[in-house]
Amino acid sequence: MTRFNFEEIGQILRDHQRFAVLGHVRPDGDALGSQLALALSLQQLGKEVRVWNEDGMLEKYSFLPRAELLTKPPSSPENVDVAIALDTAIQNRLGTALAAVRSAKIWINIDHHLSNPGYGNIAYVDPSAPATAEIVFGLIKSQGLPFNRDIAENLYAAISTDTGSFQYPKTSAHTLEIAAELIRAGLDVGRLNQQLYENYPRRRLELLRELLRTMRFRQGDSVASFSLSLKTAAELGVLPEDNEGLIDHLRAIRGVIVAAFFEELTDGKVRVSMRSKSNFVDVCAICQKFGGGGHTLAAGARVRGTLAEVEEKVLEEIGEVLESHS
Ligand code: AMP
Ligand code: MN
Ligand code: MN
């Protein structure tokens, strides 16, 4: 995997005028926070910046500073010089944003997914980073790009959500040093955490209650899964963003090594989310077998088939991988 240095990216940022800052479909805090942070820095540098995500700004992250900058991409392409993909393991996970930046002469790919093939003219892919926002912070600081409290808040929210509140194994001393620097920029940790973790809509908990009703175990207790049908989602009136993080309840069970979540989608596919608690069980590799990707301990895929078919196929595969290790 090619690793470029920040200087080369910094040069391109200084030398061009029109940018599109993009992130993956079904965005999470890392995608949205990284997009806003880099866009705000570029804007302050005097650049014209578009911030596009197929899904637009999610309701639950709309408290992020300058959240209104992030919109759905336009249906017809606009002129940009440089497209920057953040937190996006494969280019087609940019969804409809991809078509809107057809005119881009230069592609920059900044990401932390192990499965990222390094697309684009410049790819800065660091799988050791717990969040793309940590790389964005490094870029801003090393290149002396504009930095302020709004940028800090977006980066903090991104790092906090992608590390499970600074808990997952890639959380390093460096991560906490960055967090300290972000706090010194003036952000209010208590308020931000409340907005992130104590402001869920009631329907999210009602969804968890339904998911737990479908909870199943395999391979003793080492594989736990639950699933969400379109029917249940409609009955509860939940949004796609409501289920982010619920899989952690399965991972948190003693004895569970792999947690899986299956969500029926409207296009005849099932969204699979997977988490592992053991470096010996690489869920990225499992998801890649189904056309997906991600990280060793957190990965996903979209698999064609009914909920029951995909559950069976994927759980079977997880079972085989676990057996090969026991
Ligand atoms: P999720 O379970 O959706 O939170 O995703 C876990 C990790 O896997 C995230 O870092 C995603 O970017 C990545 N991921 C999820 N779905 C896919 C997919 N279909 N293709 C590639 N990577 C994915
Ligand atoms: Mn992400
Ligand atoms: Mn990420």
pLDDT bracket for residue 109 (50, 70, 90): very high
pLDDT in tens, 187-212: 999 999 999 999 999 999 999 999 99
Q: Note the pLDDT tens digit of each residue in 57-103.
A: 999 999 999 999 999 999 999 999 999 999 999 999 999 999 999 99
The three-state secondary structure class of 275 is strand
Determine the atom of ligand 1 nearest the C-alpha atom of 31: 12
d(CA 270, CA 292): 12
Name, in order, each residue with C-beta under 8 angstroms of 283's C-beta and a sequence gap of 6 or more.
258, 274, 275, 276, 294, 296, 297, 298, 299
301 lines ligand 1 (CB under 6 A): yes
Answer yes or no: is pLDDT of 319 > 80: yes
Spell out the domains of the chain, with CATH numbers in brackets.
Answer: 6-197 (3.90.1640.10), 204-325 (3.10.310.30)
User: Are 157 and 131 a contacting pair, CB within 8 Å?
Assistant: no
> Which amino acid residue places its CA nearest to atom 4 of ligand 1?
273
- The answer, yes or no, to whether residue 4 has pLDDT greater than 70, is no
Cβ of 295 below 6 Å from ligand 1: yes
- Give percent of the chain with pLDDT exceeding 90: 98
pLDDT confidence bin for 1, thresholds 50/70/90: very low
Residue-level pLDDT at 46 = 98
| Residue nearest (by alpha carbon) to ligand 1 atom 7 | 299
The per-residue pLDDT for 2 is: 45
* Mean predicted confidence (pLDDT) in 30-59: 98
Would the CB of 302 count as within 6 Å of ligand 1? yes
Residue 76 has a pLDDT of 95
**Shortest-distance atom of ligand 1 to CA 299:** 8
Q: Are 209 and 235 in contact, with CB atoms under 8 Å apart?
A: no
Question: Is 243 close to ligand 1, i.e. is its CB under 6 Å away?
Answer: no
Of all ligands present, the nearest one to the C-alpha of 273 is 1
Per-residue pLDDT band for 39 (boundaries 50, 70, 90) equals very high
